Structure 1
């Protein structure tokens, strides 16, 4: 294949320096090498404020704390491509002006896993067992399903959390299955929770490739890595979150599913932080496009009182 622009011969990928982030970048490099063998890639590492800060994320402005420095490197022309976990990219505000998602990779496992040193499942954990998690989504759902368990704040990348578990700072962890797969630690999984027990975060298991919108060479080079089902599912999910105007302290969960016959469904839930209020909506797209499905499910939740639930949560 002949490239029209020599600038595509090298793609600089900006990445957080955590083992998880670097593993995600390696997946992109491998897939790109297979698709476009003529392109070289190099990694531009950054440390984000979210990586440095171990307190409450809302004090830094929420999930954007993990993306701000990455966005800056992209916009300054220091890098050409960023790899994001979609679940970490805020949807209550647009992507930074001048940037665009060029592709969503094929979706990984969306479920959560229990990690317990003795191999116990969630149902087997004794009363008062300490679950290490800072996720408002997980805390709210545990309050509903396992109110006898105690949640203790637990930040840091997955490797760091496993170290804290081993040091006795908690009795068990809840971690994303896809994250444990990426860092090669599925051996630590005691139980994989069905989505009915622990509804996943919006954007779970999907990596997004972000470029400058005027960088057509990079966009053309990486867009072929995109997965059509992931695009439909994420478009529906992020529109849902956008319409709800959910922030990082909002316990909002949900997932879209593209069936082999082309049908698309979206299930979403909004919780109060204590789990006492649970709103639930589930719709099929039918003739609706993914964004309209996301809007429709969000409106169904708003009719049930989601605005009041979200607005009463400080952020």
Structure 2
């Protein structure tokens, strides 16, 4: 079993029934099965199954079922900006949640945009413990290379994120970096079959979730590839009026992850970036107990960027996020963001 698989198993084992969960289970006993809504990609369904398992550990007598929802973002293979950005992955799921078709929405927080308000009457009741945030390089089968340092100038590299493209070109401006869309499985299949790219840059966690961790060739350090806002975090959204479900989900909330996500997303809101904005941000807790937040804003080719890193106490994540966004704006982030077409 992989390190990440062990980690996810431990997450489930840490969730133990208590008198509170027994009480919530009784409150939910007369309801139909609790419906967990998710995108239909293999990675998203893996996440939904993880949530289902954790809820089963909490309240074994509460039936749950997974409802797969194919979103417009999943079906569209063009530029996401033409569909209104990352919100294309959320709007159908939000509609099902608001209308009562599902009770819990499972989201990758990196896909939750900062410029689209949440539907009224909904909230993220829980953030699961953060998984690995590293990006990795996956080389095509038969490639003579095993590192981005080795490939010659002009080598074609594929990625789905403008954030990755900007940082790759900042590191290796001589590479040819192009967009590739689709779920993780289909992108890796295209890499091997078409030989259009020498390598792809993908999220390490995503590969583990779909059982393709064996394809990881190179793990990229975070000082080379700063993660996206909310990287490695699963958020559980529900209707605030469903108090029993909200309280049940809160038992799955990981306080340190909530602190980190709050800092990162406050920074994102302050920058008012759109889906084409290459914005990176990563909050951590330092060894001496301080909250650290690093933020970066790039042009799409990575030639111009603004960078900031600040520290504060762990009980002030929103204040730290606001301060870092203000620092980035003072360093020219607004001009960079406004100069990138929506």
Q: Name the TM-score, length of structure 2 as normaliser.
A: 0.89
- Counterpart residue number, 1:311: 338
Q: Deviation string for 1:153-209 (max 9, x for gaps)?
A: 200000010011011131100000011111111100000000011111111000000
Q: Is the 8 A contact 1:232 1:258 kept in 2?
A: no
Q: Is the 8 A contact 2:128 2:254 kept in 1?
A: yes
Taking a change above 3 Å as real, the CA distance of residues 217 and 125 of structure 1, as seen in their structure-2 partners, is: same
- Counterpart residue number, 1:228: 255
Give, in whole Å, the separation in 2 of the partners of 1:261 and 1:229. 15
Give, in whole Å, the separation in 2 of the partners of 1:287 and 1:253. 20
Give, in whole Å, the separation in 2 of the partners of 1:5 and 1:275. 51
Say if 2:198 is the partner of 1:198. Answer: no
Q: Is the 8 A contact 2:122 2:238 kept in 1?
A: yes
- Counterpart residue number, 2:237: 210
- Counterpart residue number, 1:121: 147
Q: Any gaps of 5 or more consecutive residues in structure 2? A: 1-21
Q: Name the TM-score, length of structure 1 as normaliser.
A: 0.96
Taking a change above 3 Å as real, the CA distance of residues 39 and 175 of structure 1, as seen in their structure-2 partners, is: same
Partner of residue 207 from structure 2, selected from 142, 157, 180 = 180
Q: Deviation string for 1:272-295 (max 9, x for gaps)?
A: 112111211001113761111100
Q: Which moved more, 1:200-209 or 1:282-291?
A: 282-291
Q: Is the 8 A contact 1:44 1:79 kept in 2?
A: yes
- Counterpart residue number, 1:106: 129
Say if 2:52 is the partner of 1:25. Answer: no
Q: What is the correspondence of 1:165-314 to structure 2 with a 5 Å cutoff?
A: 165-167=191-193, 168-259=195-286, 262-286=289-313, 289-314=316-341
Give, in whole Å, the separation in 2 of the partners of 1:6 and 1:140. 50
Q: Is the 8 A contact 1:104 1:206 kept in 2?
A: yes
Give, in whole Å, the separation in 1 of the partners of 2:268 and 2:209. 26
Superposed CA RMSD: 1.4
What is the Cα deviation at residue 9 of structure 1? 6.8
Give, in whole Å, the separation in 2 of the partners of 1:187 and 1:61. 34
Say if 2:94 is the partner of 1:71. Answer: yes
Give, in whole Å, the separation in 2 of the partners of 1:134 and 1:218. 34
Partner of residue 61 from structure 2, selected from 38, 44, 52 = 38
What is the Cα deviation at residue 258 of structure 1? 2.3
Say if 2:75 is the partner of 1:52. Answer: yes
Give, in whole Å, the separation in 1 of the partners of 2:61 and 2:151. 52
Aligned length: 315
Q: Is the 8 A contact 1:16 1:47 kept in 2?
A: yes
Partner of residue 181 from structure 2, selected from 155, 162, 180 = 155
Taking a change above 3 Å as real, the CA distance of residues 46 and 304 of structure 1, as seen in their structure-2 partners, is: same
